[in-house]
Structure 1
Amino acid sequence: MTGQLRAAIYARFSTDMQSDASIEDQIRSCRDYAARQGMEVIETYSDRAMSGASLMRSGVQKLMRDARGGAFDVVVSEGLDRLSRNQADIAQIHQSLTFADVMIETVAEGVISEMHIGLKGTMNALFLKDLAQKTHRGLKGRALSGKSAGGITYGYRALTRLDAKGEPVRGEREIDADQAAVVRRIFQDYAKGVSPKKIAEALNLDGIPGPQGGRWGSSTINGNRERGTGILNNELYIGRQIWNRLRYVKDPETGKRVSRLNPERDWVITEIPELQIIEDDLWEQVRARQGALKSKDTPVPVWDRRRPKTLFSGLMKCGCCGSGFSKVTKDSFGCSAARNKGKAVCTNMALIKQADLEARVLDALAHHLMDPEAVTVFCEAYTAERNRLAASATNTRSEFERKLSQLKRDHAKLVDAIIAGVPADQVKDKMIALDDQRQKIEAKLEAMETSPAPLRFHPKMAETYRDRVGTLIRGLSRDAGLTETREALRGLIEKIVLEPRAEGEGFDIDLHGALAGLLRLATGVEAGGAATQGKKSANANGPAGAGLEGVDMIEEIVLVAGTRYRRDLPAPFCLV
């Protein structure tokens, strides 16, 4: 193995207004830096039009996963702010990479130490705060002048013109006649007593695209009155623009933005009569109906106001349209799209009782998934795939060995030429190039030798699985550890597909198992434990020899169990 450092390059630009050339320029600069430092660049990662204030970026997340897997020794970036501008996030990145024995080097700062993290992180955090304040101040100026300080609202279109200096004037808009007609239709129908669900259904049946180009939903129309969201609550339609009603903050736990209502004193309200679409009297009729629906005389059912999380919430899918299933009565589930977007999207109006659904799914978990025949089919398919991959690896190794032999022969010829009297400086560059290629191929061959061993499955895996899932199901009747039990059962399921029967009575249910979760339960390997590091599990409760290696490499395979038992096995394959 050579002493040459393996480098990964990371590049990022922030907004859609920048071009992909920014990424290429950063990568080129990092490659030049790596070459000067004698590093071998083995991978590049990038995020396009992504803010550095969040770690919810696919490129940086993949980089972190590969770093934990030992794919490289150093991360090279143009500057520390390319990795993140958030002080806490850059400290987390540095801590995680340090744990994985991966260094950070940047073209601007060189080798990154704890001092850089502290000082540069603080500077980047201050930069973000200053940028946010300046942006907010600029948007406020636009709002006060009656211009758009955000996106274009449905019913309007942006105006494009240049000022006296030839610069584009931003934020101007005008009424879009076609969309304005749809807005009036929505207000008029609602004032007549038509529900938002029925309005959305009618718009979808007429083929009218929604604000984002997709289907209409009741929430798009109804929104939230207090927050001013939704078609029915947007005061711009009566010529009054309200800006800064909401502010957005990042949840440090999830990295996602969360909206919060600002105090009314901070709102910026501007009258723009030329943008009025809805007459004042129609607006007041809609307000009156909304108020009546929220009065005590028409209380909203408890299961509509606050829907508790059930055992399989979020896992149910409609077999007709693929949309989610949700609570539509106190104890029943139904297709959300059929109720919120109408027949143009889905005609499945059938209901299934919560008790019936949970009983059937739990029975399938206990008796259909991981049965001996299913496990046999899986192991045979897995072995065949491993053999195919092994054969491919053998061919690749043979090719590398052939190239290595050729490189050694070419290198020996150059040595012989020098011995025969050819000046060394004439063949020096060629010899260095050949030696570099030799080192790279030898490194790849050595990596192949350290590849993880194939998975091994214990013969009693199915029996072990049934015992453990039975224990989990019995645990649902106990209060102690109920949350953990529910989550453990949910972790065994990828999705539950409910398809109404042709005769109109009941559902056929296909239960798609999450293979990694099933195998971990069956073999005693904990998620995130030693198995994911390529080492055998030391779980004393698991059966002897049941260690599970490399679970991540087979997570894409799906096992399915349902009320029907099919023996045909379409690719990749289903166990039903």
Structure 2
Amino acid sequence: MGAAAVYARKSTDQAVSDEEKSVTRQVELAVACARTHGFEVPPEHIYVDDAISGAEFDRRPGLMRLLNTLRPQAPFAGLFMADKDRLGREQFETNHILKQISVAGVRIFEYQNGGHEVRLESPIDKLIMSVSNFAAELERAKASQRTRDALQLKAQRGYVAGGAVFGYRNVPVVDQGGQRSHVVREIREDEAATVRHIFSMVAGGTGLRTIARALNAEGVRSPRARAGRHHSWAPSSVRSVLFNSLYKGEVVWGRTKKRDAWGRRKESDRPTNEWVITTAEHLRIVSDDLWAKGHEALQSRQKAYGFKRGSPRPVGALDSKYLLTGMVECGVCGGRIVQTWNGRKPAYRCWYNHSRGRAVCANTLVVDMHLADDTVLQAVTRDVLDPEVVREALDLALRDLEQPAPGVAARLDTLKNE
């Protein structure tokens, strides 16, 4: 009995079948199909990507592991999955992946088509495959448009078509049957007072970092932080408040799109004629006069200090010209260590302490940048680049790649016992 592999991907599209939403169910059916064709599926050759779009390819660890095992020689003779669109829903990339698998000598089977084998032997086979992948990409585009149309309709009716916004609470509205019909916003007075206070401080000439520090020192409730971020005020969250037109009673939806033409997750601005703009005076927190004064003060500071909102900046440590920026964490709060200046000398310090104040992090330590860089480089050369350490790290990485997805091996053992 030959060895086979299984690939399963959970779809992010809510319009798909329940089976496609469950990687466990996909694995079960694929393993059963493999057995009917005379194959056995070792646990280490079950590859899973959970809740990842079919248009994403680089961010799918299960697919990357599968493709990496094909070289230099595939350790299995067959690949079983629900349908070839589990590999992807962008026709160019999907066709290329199918070619890689076929060239490696691996047969491809779809259990949803009765265990049908996907063949790429003749020009007709390749044409049929291209048309099929075109249909899968078309369906993905239609599903995306259906979702956008539904959200746009909510926005046009004045309903919530996004997440929570500081200063408001989301209130579900139920229909006569007790089911949730839609969600509306209502002003949350304690947070609304903070919004007005921020605008007043900016109008008075206070800088964003000073405002963030003051709010943190006073223990003022802050907007919900992103995953992994400290729950407190930062200059960026103060700026977000100042540029949110909802606070002056204007709802704007559809400013950005989340994916590019290839379906990859990449945010970009939409043309202004695609925005949905509605007036909602009942949601106004800031008067027109206070809004205007606050933005006039911001523009005055921009002219005085010579910076422009939205100017490009490095993203992540790989783009930084400083060695340790983005790589080192504060030993007190766990925040990022960033480059700053100690007099005229470059140095490192905790970003949370610098931007959010002692109320968030009490670590005021400032370290000479050149001294820190040299110390780290010497340690890396001595302890990390040692040949024995490198060999052990490679062995550990290879063993991790050979491990099956969590929970799948146990489920496979259960199926074998049944």
Q: With the length of structure 2 as denominator, give the TM-score of the two structures.
A: 0.75
Alignment of 1:546-557 (within 5 A): 551-554=393-396
State the SS of the aligned residue for 2:112: coil
Q: 1:105 to 1:99 in 2, by over 3 A?
A: same
What CA distance in whole angstroms lies between the structure 1 residues aligned with 2:14 and 2:166? Answer: 22
The answer as to whether partners of 1:16 and 1:49 remain within 8 angstroms in 2 is no
Counterpart of 2:411 in structure 1 is none
Greater mean deviation of Cα atoms: 285-294 or 196-205:
196-205
Give 2:33's aligned amino acid: Y
- Does residue 212 (structure 1) correspond to residue 228 (structure 2)? The answer is no
* 1:104–1:112 CA contact under 8 A, matched in 2: yes
| Counterpart mapping for 1:336-415 below 5 A | 336-365=351-380, 369-370=382-383
Q: What is the 5 A alignment of 1:35-184?
A: 35-43=35-43, 44-55=46-57, 56-66=59-69, 68=71, 70=74, 72-98=76-102, 100-109=104-113, 110-114=116-120, 115=126, 117-164=129-176, 168-184=180-196
Q: Is the 8 A contact 1:326 1:336 kept in 2?
A: yes
- Asked whether the equivalents of residues 83 and 90 of structure 1 are also in contact (C-alpha less than 8 Å), the reply is yes
- Give a deviation string over 1:44-77, Cα, whole Å, max 9, x none: 4433333222122344344444555855433321
Is 1:321 aligned to residue 309 of structure 2? no
- Cα distance in 2, alignment partners of residues 336 and 17 from structure 1: 43
Aligned to 2:277: 269
Q: Distance in 1 between matches of 2:177 and 2:282?
A: 26
**Once the 2 structures are TM-superposed, how far is the Cα of residue 269 of structure 1 from its aligned partner?**
1.2
* 2:286 matches 1:278: yes
Matching residue's letter, 2:101: L
1:12·1:23 contact (CA, 8 Å) conserved in 2? yes
1:117 Cα deviation after fit: 4.2
Native 8 Å contact 1:209 1:215 kept in 2: yes
Gaps of 5+ in 2: 121-125, 315-319, 399-418
State the Cα deviation string for residues 257-298 of structure 1 (Å, max 9, x = none): 332223333322110111112222222222111111111x32
Q: Does the aligned pair in 2 maintain the 1:142–1:171 contact within 8 Å?
A: no
Q: Is this contact kept in 1: 2:30–2:82, CA < 8 A?
A: yes
CA shift for structure 1 position 183: 2.7
Among candidates 232, 243, 253, match of residue 253 of structure 2: 243
| 2:395 partner SS | helix
Residue type at the aligned position of 1:54: E
Q: Percent identity?
A: 26
In the TM superposition, residue 81 of structure 1 has moved relative to its aligned partner by 2.1
Q: Which amino acid aligns with 2:306?
A: P
2:242 alignment partner, SS class:
helix
Residue 299 (structure 1) aligned to one of 301, 306, 318: 306
The residue identity in structure 1 corresponding to 2:355 is N
Structure 2 CA distance, aligned partners of 1:72 and 1:179?
A: 59
> What is residue 469 of structure 1 aligned with on the other side?
none
CA deviation string 1:209-253 (max 9, x = no partner): 532374124254244xxxxxx12111011110112222233497x
Distance 1:162 1:130 in 2: 29
Deviations 1:300-324 (A, max 9, x none): 49xx985662344432332333322
User: Could you say what secondary structure the match of 1:161 adopts?
Assistant: strand
Q: Which has the higher contact order (CA 8 A, sep 6+)?
A: 2
Q: CA RMSD in A?
A: 3.5
C-alpha distance in 1 between matches for 2:312 and 2:258: 25
- Give per-residue Cα distances to partners, 1:127-169, cap 9 Å, x unaligned: 1222233333332222222222222322222222233566532
- Name 2:243's counterpart in structure 1: 233
Contact 2:49/2:60 (8 A) holds in 1: yes
Tell me the distance in 1 between the aligned counterparts of 2:392 and 2:238: 48
Q: Structure 1 residues 60 and 154, CA, compared in 2 at 3 Å: closer, same or farther?
A: farther
Partners in 2 of 1:124 and 1:147 — Cα distance? 32
Equivalent residue number for residue 400 of structure 1: none
For residue 4 of structure 1, what is the amino acid of its counterpart? Answer: G
Q: What's the CA shift string for 1:94-128, capped at 9, x where partnerless?
A: 24434554433211342234435422221111112
125-134 or 112-121: which moved more?
A: 112-121
Does the C-alpha gap of structure 1 residues 71 and 197 become closer, same or farther in structure 2, counting only changes over 3 Å? farther
The equivalent residue for 1:455 is none
Partners of 1:180 and 1:15 in 2: how far apart? 36
Q: Which residue of 1 aligns with 2:401?
A: none
- For structure 1, the residue ranges without an aligned partner over 5 or more in a row are 224-229, 371-512, 526-547, 557-576
Q: 1:35 to 1:215 in 2, by over 3 A?
A: same
- CA distance in 2: counterparts of 1:122 and 1:148, whole angstroms: 34
Read off the aligned partner of 1:552 and give its amino acid letter: L
Query: How far off its partner does 1:363 sit?
Result: 4.1
- Partner Cα separation in structure 2 for residue 41 and residue 207 of structure 1: 56
Q: Which residue of 2 aligns with 1:258?
A: 266
